[in-house]
Each structure stands twice: as C-alpha cells, then as structure tokens.
Structure 1
Amino acid sequence: MLKKVLFVLLILFSFSLAATQGSLEFRPIKKNFNKSEDICFYLKNNSGEKIYLPSSAPWAVFEDKDFEKIIFSPIATQSIVEIKPSQKKKWCWKQKDFNNEQVPSGEYTIRLTVFKSGKRLFLSSTVNIKNSAK
C-alpha cells in the first residue's frame, strides 16, 4: 500500500526538480537550459538492491505533465540493463522532436521507466528550455 501511495505522490509532484521513488534518484543536471543545449539527466540507485531498465534508453519526453503528448523517445536496444546499488546512469536529450526539429522554449517532462523488486516504476522530472540571452 505504501508503494502505491508513493507512486501516486510521485505522479502528482512530477513537476518538482527531482523525482525519487524510495531510494532512486532521477533528476536533470540543472533545471533551466538554453536552446540547443544538451539536456542531461541521470538515475542514481541509492538503494541496497539491483534495479533494472527495460532498454538502454528507457525514457521519453512529454510536452505535458499528464504524459499525454509525447514528443520524443530515443531508439534503444531492447535489452535489460542492470543498475547495481550506488551506480549511476546518465542520458542526454538534444532538444529535438520525432522530426529531428528543435522544440520550442517551455517546460518539458522527462519520464523514466525502472523495475525495482519486480515492479514497474515511473520516475519523472521537468526541465525548462529558455531562449538564449540576447
């Protein structure tokens, strides 16, 4: 029951800088990015058990916090990736959509899929893309 409550709270507070599920940490390297700057984010396993990713890049970018409008998901090998305790995994998004075009300025939500103790978890964080200073 506690895990379900944590999951609901995670979804409700997905707009926060970092999302955590138990002892998993998912966050961007910073909150605000300039246009054309790589948006890098990482997952850190602070738990005492192994976690698993369903692919080499199990993340997607959404235009909304309700996860209804996906704008990018990388092509990735469909192989299970193991993340041991204390390990960290990093990815970067080039601010491109499925058509390989620069996305407009604004807020975007990145969602990551993880398996812990045999259960699928979704972790999310938001980032802001701002126009470069003139």
Structure 2
Amino acid sequence: MRKFKLSVFYTILIFSLSFANLTGELEFKPEKEIINKDEKVCFHLVNNSDKAVYLPSSAPWAVFEDEDFDKIVFSPIAAQRILEIKPYEEKKWCWDLKDFQGEIVPSGDYAIRLTVFKNGERVFLVSKIKVKPGVAETSKKEEE
C-alpha cells in the first residue's frame, strides 16, 4: 500500500510540475492589478520559453468590459506587421484608461486580451485589472 501511495504521489508531482512549466512559458500580466483612474496601466508579455512567439501587430491587445469578450472598450491603432518575441524577451505596452472616444473608462473590472502566435497557432492571453476612482474624484466626493 505504501508503494502505491508513493507512486500516486510521484505521478501527481510529475504532472503538476510539467503543467506548471507549460503554462509558465508565456507570462502576460499588468504591473498593477488595481489602478486609479488618474493613472495608466502597463502590462508585459514575457516569453519564458526557448522558442520565439509572434505578434500579429505592434499592439496586439484589446480591452474588454466583460469576461465573454463581447464588449470591447479600446484597441490601439497599430502597424500590421509581424513582430517576433525571441526566447526570454519581454514586450511592454501601456493603456491610459481611455475608451475609443477618448474618455476615461468608468470604474470597474476589465480584461486585457493579447493575441500571440505560438507554434503557428493563435493563443489568447488574458490579464484582469480593476479600475478605481482617481484621487481627484475621491476628494471631490468627500467634499460633497
């Protein structure tokens, strides 16, 4: 029985380590997950793999108001050229929290989706952020 338990333990350990390595190859995350309206948010793609990945444009990301990716809030205008992110390289973008009309987005939860091509297949990476009222907005409400 002891050998069986050890074998199950090692099997689970091996699968969890290989899964962790697989999911950690591409890292896409914001510098901060909670952002005030008077700030901007920057986010990074890190290629932790030993193979290059490709981006379909210079800014292959979009901001969505919902997790179903039905309501797009903003997507930057970008040059339509393939960009290579070599192994262990990083790419950074920033968003000023403005929508297509140039207005600051309302407070709430947003999803930033990045399009990457890995091994010839399109992959979507998602980071979530929360936009909170800015300092000026909070001070104004306290005065009222």
Bigger helix fraction: 2
Q: Over aligned residues, Cα RMSD in angstroms?
A: 1.2
> Who is 2:14 aligned against?
none
Moved more, 123-132 or 56-65: 123-132
Q: What amino acid does structure 2 have at the position aligned with 1:36?
A: D
Residues 75-128 of structure 1 show CA distances to partners (whole Å, capped at 9, x for unaligned) of: 000000000011000000010000011111111000000000000000001101
SS of the counterpart of 1:43?
strand
Do 2:30 and 2:127's aligned partners in 1 also have CA atoms closer than 8 Å?
yes
Unaligned 5+ residue runs, structure 1? 1-19
Q: Of the two structures, which has the highest relative contact order with CA contacts closer than 8 Å and spacing of 6 or more? A: 1
Do 1:35 and 1:132's aligned partners in 2 also have CA atoms closer than 8 Å?
yes
Larger Rg computed on CA atoms: 2
> 91, 94, 106: which one pairs with 1:89?
91
Q: Matched residue pairs, number?
A: 115
TM-score normalised to the size of structure 1?
0.83
Residue identity over aligned pairs, in percent, reads 61
Unaligned 5+ residue runs, structure 2? 1-21, 140-144
Bigger strand fraction: 1
SS of the counterpart of 1:103?
coil
Moved more, 58-67 or 32-41: 32-41
CA positional deviation for 1:131 = 1.0
TM-score normalised to the size of structure 2?
0.77
Residues 39-69 of structure 1 show CA distances to partners (whole Å, capped at 9, x for unaligned) of: 1001000000000000000000000000000
